[in-house]
Amino acid sequence: MILHDIDTRGFASDNYSGIHPEVLTAIAGANHGHQSSYGADVYTERLGEVFRRHFGDTARAFPMLTGTGANVVALQAVCARWGAVVCADSGHINVDEGGAPEKTGGLKLLPVRAENGKLTVRAVQGEAHGFDNQHRAQPQVVSLSQSTELGTVYTPGEIRAITDLAHEHGMYVHMDGSRLANAAVHLDLPLRALTTDVGVDVLSFGGTKNGLMLGEVVVLLNPELDGGIDRLRKTSMQLASKQRFISAQFIALLEGDLWQRNAAHANAMATRLYQAVRRHVDVINPVESNALFVRLPEKALARLHDEFQFYDWNVAAGEARWMTSFDTTPDDVDRFAAAIREICGEA
């Protein structure tokens, strides 16, 4: 039974997209017979091998149900009850997770001003103090997003500078990698070049935005870490009973080059859209992944909303976000771009 218009296309979020056919095939393949529950299955065992191949021999992978859950569990694993997390003011954990890190994780967030969505050494340094002050939440973790909430991408050198600073102060570094694949493809680098090789301690690796049905994976990259993450996963309600179906999806994504193909296509569609409309709209941030942030007159935005799905980012400033995904087609982009040019030309 189909309840929606299958011809509806939009640019609101890569979460709006469907499931890649190869991932659906993997789910169907895992559906035969019985397998042990709660991760004691052959698919989750293979998942560990696949993640070690991408992130190093000491990487340990823990499948989760949601991105918010993965971030909260990962941060709890590296932060004491009296600790705090330094993050970008625009970061997902700060503005888009309903207060879950604070309410569910019991974590104090220390948001700092980010430049085009990216943390800087100077910004982090501003919060790296008060470690022996019992009256201040102790900074213990730096959390960054790759790619950022504004679609920009950290280079390996930028990440290394932040991890070096954090480690000098005895702090860990967490990466929210819900769109890590898009960043790696943009830079033409393997996944470990943006994580393990530059000192990231723990990663929330995303799949939902890159063609999966559901599921994220917390990856412990620092071999000295434990943090009771298996128990945290359970008490945080992130342990799936039929875990093999999450694991099978990530095997399909990462065992071959599907993660690269999907991310490369999404990025290419964003670039196509940028090239088609850059003379007609004010593009706010560099287009480095699968997102465009733009500024348009209020009437133009309203007219676009009549036909296309997208998010208003800052209503007062007339800013919007346009996202592409693995299943965005050139025709989708061209129709959207034509409407933008027409409406902006009239405006």
What is the pLDDT confidence band of residue 346, given thresholds at 50, 70 and 90? low
Residues 244 and 269 in one domain: no
The H or E element spanning position 49 is helix 42-55
For residue 11, being part of any structural domain is answered with: no
How many C-beta atoms surround the C-beta of residue 344 within 10 A?
A: 17
Partnered with residue 291 across adjacent β-strands are 323
Q: What is the mean pLDDT of residues 103-118?
A: 93
| Whole-prediction pTM | 0.96
**Sign of the torsion formed by the C-alpha atoms of 94, 96, 100 and 101:** negative
For residue 77, being part of any structural domain is answered with: yes
- Rounded CA separation 153/155 (Å): 6
pLDDT of residue 347: 53
Query: Which CATH number is 46's domain given?
Result: 3.40.640.10
Q: What is the mean pLDDT of residues 298-305?
A: 92
Residue 227 has pLDDT above 80, yes or no: no
Residues 215 and 298 in one domain: no
Write out the E strands in 129-180.
138-145, 172-177
Residue that the structure tokens 């071959």 belong to: 256
Residues 231 and 264 in one domain: no
For residue 13, being part of any structural domain is answered with: no
* Domain end residue (candidates: 238, 254, 270): 254
Residues 319 and 186 in one domain: no
pLDDT of residue 9: 85
Strands 311-314 and 282-283: what pairing? unpaired
Q: How many domains does the chain have?
A: 2
Instruction: Assess contact for 97 and 255: CB atoms under 8 A.
Output: no
Type of residue numbered 37: S
Partnered with residue 312 across adjacent β-strands are 320
Residues 236 and 273 in one domain: no
Residues 328 and 230 in one domain: no
Residue span of the structural domain in which 317 resides:
258-346
Give the number of C-alpha atoms closer than 13 A to the C-alpha of residue 112, restricted to the C-beta side. 20
The H or E element spanning position 303 is helix 298-305
Residues 236 and 117 in one domain: yes
Residue 201 has pLDDT above 60, yes or no: yes
pLDDT of residue 251: 98
The whole-angstrom distance between residue 258's C-alpha and the CA centroid of its chain comes to: 17
- Rounded CA separation 231/303 (Å): 50
Nearest to 340 by CA among 317, 316, 320, 315: 320
Residues 99 and 35 in one domain: yes
Write out the E strands in 284-332.
291-295, 311-314, 319-323
Residues 37 and 108 in one domain: yes
Residue 7 has pLDDT above 90, yes or no: no
Q: 73-100, pLDDT tens digit by residue?
A: 999 999 999 999 999 999 999 998 889 9
For residue 3, being part of any structural domain is answered with: no
Residues 215 and 292 in one domain: no
Residues 47 and 195 in one domain: yes
* Domain end residue (candidates: 215, 234, 254): 254
Residue 283 has pLDDT above 60, yes or no: yes
Residues 231 and 270 in one domain: no
For residue 144, being part of any structural domain is answered with: yes
What does each C-alpha distance from 274 to 39, 196, 282, 310, 311 come to in angstroms?
42, 32, 10, 15, 17
Give the strands of the sheet with 311-314, arranged side by side.
282-283, 291-295, 319-323, 311-314
Query: Which CATH number is 301's domain given?
Result: 3.90.1150.10
Q: Which residues contact 22 (CB under 8 A, 6 or more apart)?
A: 211, 252, 258
